[in-house]
Structure 1
Amino acid sequence: MSGLFTLGETLGLVAANGIGPLGHAQGFSFGIGGAESNVAIGVARLGGESTWLGRVGPDAAGTLIASRIAAMGVRTLAVTDEAFTGLMVRHRRSGEFTQVDYHRAGSAGSRLAPADLPAAELTGATILHVTGITPALSETARAAVFQAVETARAAGVTVSIDVNYRAKLWSRFDAGPVLRDLVARADIVFASPEEAALFVPADDAPAELAKLGPAEVIVKDGGRGCVALIEGVRLTRPALPVTVVDPVGAGDAFVAGYLADRLAGAPADARLTTAIAAGAFAVTVPGDCEGAPNRAELAALSGADVQR
């Protein structure tokens, strides 16, 4: 095995159609959503090899999650658990504000454990990617993330983390030390300025995050683009001007673009160009991962050389 290996919870997604209060929705769609599987799907769509590991329930939502991730070209290691598959309910209250309610406490995905980890596949990966979401789900899920990271590090596998702080899962006080510890063990880190401020001074987030150990630090800042410090070289990229249809999933698409290019051996500036284009494309289509772009679509959007 080679390519990207990631693990975490993917949820069933109930999304209200249209914009307005949930009670006035004219219909709903059902899909899937999870930061780690979003990245795995994004990498696969851009031509990379990717594997996702997670627990799902013995229910229709769990079956859908496993089949849909696999259908997107991702090697899928879905462990069936006796607990239910978690759900999220999302609606756009206005054109500028999206609300998401989670129903995941005690879910199958939250019961991820170190025993679920396939050591041989972890050590054979090129990149292990984790997020700050999974450690917030349960003690066993946190232990699984840290064990995956230590196993990968011992084997010389590159470790990537997206801080991805979720205030609905844990407090800043509880999250800060854990996320700092994870970042200190990573080779690549992605964070927003607000996420970085959980555990480093905010005056120069890329430099402060790099002091913890990662050689590649990428601070993603939405409509303002990104700032990176990669092997000591500072790089910036502005966001692409696009019409926003659905802002959810942009950060995951950005990460997928960067990691797909890294797997392909692209230089740092090209990785950021692809990441910016993938994030921009994601907001022009509805859904968390269904509209993940391929290389030709990114090239059409940005005019950049992203056809590796």
Structure 2
Amino acid sequence: MSSGGSAHSSRDIRGDERSHSGGNRGGAPRVVTVGETMALMRTSVNGSLAHLPTVDVALGGAESNLAIGLCRLGVPSAWVSRVGDDPLGTRVVREIRGEGVDVHCAIDPQRPTGLMVKSRPTAATTRVDYYRSGSAASALAPMDLPDGLIENAELLHVSGLTSLLSPDAHLTVVTAVKRAVAAGVKVSLDVNFRSRLGTRERLATLLGDVLEHVDVLFGGPEELSILAPDAEEAVPRTLLHALARKGREAVVKLGPDGAAALTDGQLHEAPGHVVDVVDTVGAGDAFVAGYLSARLDGLAVPQRLARANACGALACTTPGDWEGAPRLRELDALLSGRGGDPVSR
């Protein structure tokens, strides 16, 4: 495949030669994100897939998780991707559109929709297996980026996941970032390292192509250390100081310990929340959605961190990658202390 994209044609779910399926109920997209969403097979009970008789069908992907989370928080968002010409691809597009996301998704007649299988071998462990090699989204190409979509947004969000899918997918990320910069659109990056897709060294090289243009940077300590190998990983403050620059916000996600952000030389820290954890997958995407929504709402950094931590915590209380992404009223209940009674009357 050439770096300019796949040679075959693509269509959308309705059979058109281009790929757009609108669904945004909140107006023109303020945020655009690009990346793969997979069909998700997940177990509803604990145990090995070698023995369990049934699985549930859902979907999951970091970028669509983010877009859904933003829409639920009142920020119109768009998602750009590719899926296969198969029932799972149809389901992916339908579900994401149904959440109000503006969907721009090419339907690839030659490649399948990627698949993720999530199980809980024990009550304390989660196993995630990916079947995404040669998937439709691995053929993402710059031609899949609609004209004017990025230029008319306020923020472009990308992640390391997409760059690791394939050379063409990485070129799509680089092209999207260049278009955003040329149009004066802010760029957000979540490192989102997945060891099954590539090495830390490979990701560092790829993200080096866009890092200088990033205005808001997210990652856990291990992820941020990929971009700052000389910093001490165990000290989040050191990582933030190594990666922050004038005009850039560097944010470290610390899970139950909360989060910290460094911007304009000032360090901000916020504690996490104690919740009954059901499923942690997708919590990081909910965190980023909370932070970016607060940023777009004009809130100060401490309030951005508070909203992000609350979003991440609430996402952990529900099974699924995005189903627990909260709405503003649910956030208000948690942040105000009114969420103590689990029964709605």
Quickly name the TM-score band, shorter chain normalised: over 0.9
Partner of 1:49: 76
1:177 matched to 2:205? The reply is yes
- Work out which of the residue numbers 141, 150, 169 in structure 2 matches 1:113: 141
Q: Say whether the 8 Å CA contact 1:245–1:286 is kept in structure 2.
A: yes
1:141 matched to 2:169? The reply is yes
Distance in 1 separating the partners of 2:146 and 2:265? 34
- The alpha-carbon deviation at position 159 of structure 1 amounts to 0.1
Q: Which amino acid aligns with 1:140?
A: D
Distance in 2 separating the partners of 1:27 and 1:301? 34
Q: Which amino acid aligns with 1:205?
A: L
Structure 2 gaps, min length 5: 1-27, 339-345
1:11 matched to 2:32? The reply is no
Q: Say whether the 8 Å CA contact 1:12–1:31 is kept in structure 2.
A: yes
Q: Say whether the 8 Å CA contact 2:260–2:305 is kept in structure 1.
A: no
- The alpha-carbon deviation at position 304 of structure 1 amounts to 6.9
> In angstroms, what is the RMSD of aligned CA positions?
1.5
| TM-score (structure 1 length as normaliser) | 0.95
Distance in 2 separating the partners of 1:188 and 1:177? 19
Partner of 2:239: 205
- Work out which of the residue numbers 49, 52, 58 in structure 2 matches 1:22: 49
Distance in 2 separating the partners of 1:123 and 1:224? 37
- Count of residues in correspondence between the two structures: 304
Q: Which amino acid aligns with 1:272?
A: L
Distance in 2 separating the partners of 1:236 and 1:25? 43
Partner of 1:71: 98
Q: Say whether the 8 Å CA contact 2:155–2:185 is kept in structure 1.
A: yes
1:276-298: per-residue Cα shift (whole Å, max 9, x none)? 00000000000001222101111
User: Which has more helix, going by share of residues?
Assistant: 1
Partner of 1:188: 216
1:301 matched to 2:329? The reply is no
1:266 matched to 2:293? The reply is no
Q: Say whether the 8 Å CA contact 2:170–2:206 is kept in structure 1.
A: no
Distance in 1 separating the partners of 2:258 and 2:208? 23
- Work out which of the residue numbers 275, 284, 300 in structure 2 matches 1:242: 275
Q: Given the superposition, is the C-alpha separation of residues 109 and 206 from structure 1 closer, same or farther in structure 2, using an over 3 Å criterion?
A: same
Structure 1 gaps, min length 5: none
User: In terms of mean alpha carbon deviation, does 164-173 or 91-100 score higher?
Assistant: 91-100
1:4-33: per-residue Cα shift (whole Å, max 9, x none)? 100100000000111122223253110010
Q: Given the superposition, is the C-alpha separation of residues 304 and 161 from structure 1 closer, same or farther in structure 2, using an over 3 Å criterion?
A: farther
Q: Say whether the 8 Å CA contact 1:261–1:271 is kept in structure 2.
A: yes
- Work out which of the residue numbers 253, 265, 270 in structure 2 matches 1:220: 253
Partner of 1:39: 66
- The alpha-carbon deviation at position 107 of structure 1 amounts to 0.5
- The alpha-carbon deviation at position 231 of structure 1 amounts to 2.6
Partner of 2:3: none
Distance in 1 separating the partners of 2:76 and 2:139? 26
- The alpha-carbon deviation at position 2 of structure 1 amounts to 4.2
Q: Say whether the 8 Å CA contact 2:37–2:62 is kept in structure 1.
A: yes
| TM-score (structure 2 length as normaliser) | 0.85
